[in-house]
Amino acid sequence: MLEKGSRILVTGHRGLVGSAVVRRLKGSGFESVLNADRNAVDLRDSRGVDQWFDDNRPEFVFHVAGRVGGIWANSTQPADFLYDNLMMHATVLRAAWRTGVTKLLYLGSSCIYPRDCPQPIKEESLLTGPLEKTNDAYAIAKISGLMSCEAYRRQHGCNFISAMPTNLYGQNDNFHPEQSHVLPGLMRRFDEARKSGAESVTIWGSGSPRREFLHVDDLADACVFLMEHYNEPGTINVGTGVDVTIRELAETIRDVVYPEVKLTFDTSKPDGTPRKLLDVSRLEALGWRYRTSLKEGVRSTYDWYRSNQASLRAH
């Protein structure tokens, strides 16, 4: 059982998810939250990771580090997305098994479900059909991570669990104009348009694909909940169970950032998968539900973005 004094490793502690999990743990009084800083260890390097686990002996691991990116980054750098994600879970899970970690949580991603599976997507849809082409390499790496959790559980009896979050957003997200996901990408574009007084903002694709968005603080809360209550081999979806079109998302961001501006759609950019909504009934039946509405989340993320723009630019 997770206790206030447990030694808890959160990988990727500077990233969107890792930083939220650290905030959530520290906010609840967990005293021994460890991180494997990039300067101390490269998570793709098996020897370095083994050494780090031998030296630090975590009891619980939130393995939430990953190389992530939006549709453009994934479709132009598939080899990097596959290599980095594959290597990171291969090293961390093996070291966790070898040093007798009590429990480990691994995160998949909703894009690893087949492109055309029935919506909302149930956990059982995994590996039932072909993947969406724009992120298939990333998806294969993540699927192998889920499978690794099950394999360590089957072969060695490890309590390794996995969860499948939907599209996430919030503070410490990547706001890069091309590499980011849609929500932070558009937030930045609307903000720049507001500053320059532009008349319109361009949205990639047709605006008709549907996506579900979960605030990362809600995800962090769900991760801790699962670490405390979930011990099954199969993965479990984490989302809101509600989706919007990209046009509706753009309108929500516009209303917060720059209400006067017009929207235009660049249909030369890919739409990606038409719909990606998770069925969250399994998680709700365990007693967990999201709290932050999209509107509230966009507002607080934009406040954070505005106060941190200077340091974001420095990176």
Q: Are 62 and 21 in contact (CB under 8 A)?
A: yes
Footprint of ligand GDP on 66-85 (CB under 6 A): 70-72
Q: Which of 44, 153, 211, 215 binds ligand GDP (CB under 6 A)?
A: 211
Q: Indicate the residue whose CB is closest to ligand GDP.
A: 70
Give the helix/strand (H/E) hosting 194: helix 182-196
For the CB of residue 73, give the shortest distance to ligand GDP in the complex, in Å.
8
Q: Determine whether the annotation assigns residue 108 to a binding site.
A: yes
For the CB of residue 61, give the shortest distance to ligand GDP in the complex, in Å.
26
Q: Which residue has the tokens 């691994």?
A: 106
SS (H, E, C) 42-80: CCCCHHHHHHHHHHHCCCEEEECCCCCCCHHHHHHCHHH
Q: Determine whether the annotation assigns residue 167 to a binding site.
A: yes
Q: Are 44 and 69 in contact (CB under 8 A)?
A: no
Q: What's the DSSP call for residue 258?
A: -
165 near ligand GDP (CB under 6 A): no
Q: Which of 25, 41, 111, 117 binds ligand GDP (CB under 6 A)?
A: 111
Instruction: Using alpha carbons only, give the angle 193, 195, 200 rounded to the nearest 5 degrees.
Output: 20
The sheet with strand 275-276 has its strands ordered as 244-245, 210-211, 275-276
Of 161, 39, 9, whose CA–CA distance to 99 is shortest? 9
Footprint of ligand GDP on 168-187 (CB under 6 A): 180-182, 185-186
Cα 201 from chain centre: 26
Specify the residue, 85 or 91, whose C-beta has the smaller distance to ligand GDP.
85
246 near ligand GDP (CB under 6 A): yes
251 near ligand GDP (CB under 6 A): no
Structure tokens belonging to residue 242? 């509600």
Q: Is 207 left (phi over 0), alpha (psi -120 to 50) or beta?
A: left
205 near ligand GDP (CB under 6 A): yes
For the CB of residue 74, give the shortest distance to ligand GDP in the complex, in Å.
7
227 near ligand GDP (CB under 6 A): no
Q: Which of 94, 133, 176, 269 binds ligand GDP (CB under 6 A)?
A: 269
Number of neighbours of residue 314 by Cβ within 10 angstroms:
6
The residues near 128 (Cβ < 8 Å, ≥ 6 apart) are 114, 117
For the CB of residue 178, give the shortest distance to ligand GDP in the complex, in Å.
8
For the CB of residue 249, give the shortest distance to ligand GDP in the complex, in Å.
8
Footprint of ligand GDP on 121-160 (CB under 6 A): 135
271 near ligand GDP (CB under 6 A): yes
Q: Which of 12, 209, 239, 241 binds ligand GDP (CB under 6 A)?
A: 209
- Concerning whether 169 is annotated as a catalytic residue, the answer is no
Known binding residues for NADP(+) are: 12-18, 107-110, 142, 165-168, 181
For ligand GDP, the binding residues (CB under 6 A) are: 70-72, 111, 135, 167, 180-182, 185-186, 203-205, 209, 211, 246, 269-272
Residues annotated as catalytic (active site), given as ranges: 138
